[in-house]
Amino acid sequence: LGGDRPPRDSSEAYLTIDRSNIVTARGFGLLPRTIVDQHFVRRKRHNRLMSLVLENPDMLGVGIDEATALQVNPDGRWTVVGASVVVVYDARGARITPSGVLGATGVRLHILSPGSVYDPRTGVATLGAFGLPARPQPALLRTGKEAARALSRDLACPSC
């Protein structure tokens, strides 16, 4: 997510789900075919992510709230870790209006609590245990130097 179109009036910012309401830039590409937004629930960013997903229905929309993260597992599934939720919008099978104010039917919505697992290939989600915050698996975490090297490789990748 790169930025926003300046609103006509600050009171009108993101009150509707319109085409071309959001300006984006290429991200890190860590999650293929996925649009990611941060501080999602706390800062009420539903309309802007939904606008992007409806304009790009082949991509998943993922809103990660504060103090929360997605752990990408070796099998490609995602596990929610942290204190809050991850919201997933999946419009891959939706019917969407062709222009103007966006409308749609068949958009799938997942609100994933800590410990929940989501498979981005199939769209299947499994809720985690309620009240038990999930912890990242240490074997999947990189140390500071390993993470810096991996990020450098990702940023230097000319095909990304």
Give CA–CA dist 136/106, Å, rounded: 32
pLDDT digits (tens, 9 = 90+) for 122-141: 999 999 875 454 555 555 55
Q: What is the pLDDT of residue 13?
A: 47
DSSP secondary structure string for all residues of 60-71: EEEEEPTTEEEE
- For residue range 98-122, list pLDDT tens digits in order: 887 889 999 999 999 999 999 999 9
Closest CA to 123 of 93, 86, 80: 93
Radius of gyration of the chain (CA): 17
Burial tier of 133 (Cβ tally within 10 Å: 0-12, 13-18, 19+): middle
**Contact present, 130 and 113 (Cβ < 8 Å):** yes
Q: How many domains does the chain have?
A: 1
Contact predicate 125/117, CB 8 Å: yes
pLDDT at 101: 85
CATH number, domain of 67, equals 3.40.50.880
- pLDDT at position 99: 80
Average pLDDT on 44-54 reads 87
Residue among 125, 124, 134, 130 at smallest CA distance from 69 = 134
Range of the domain at 141: 3-156
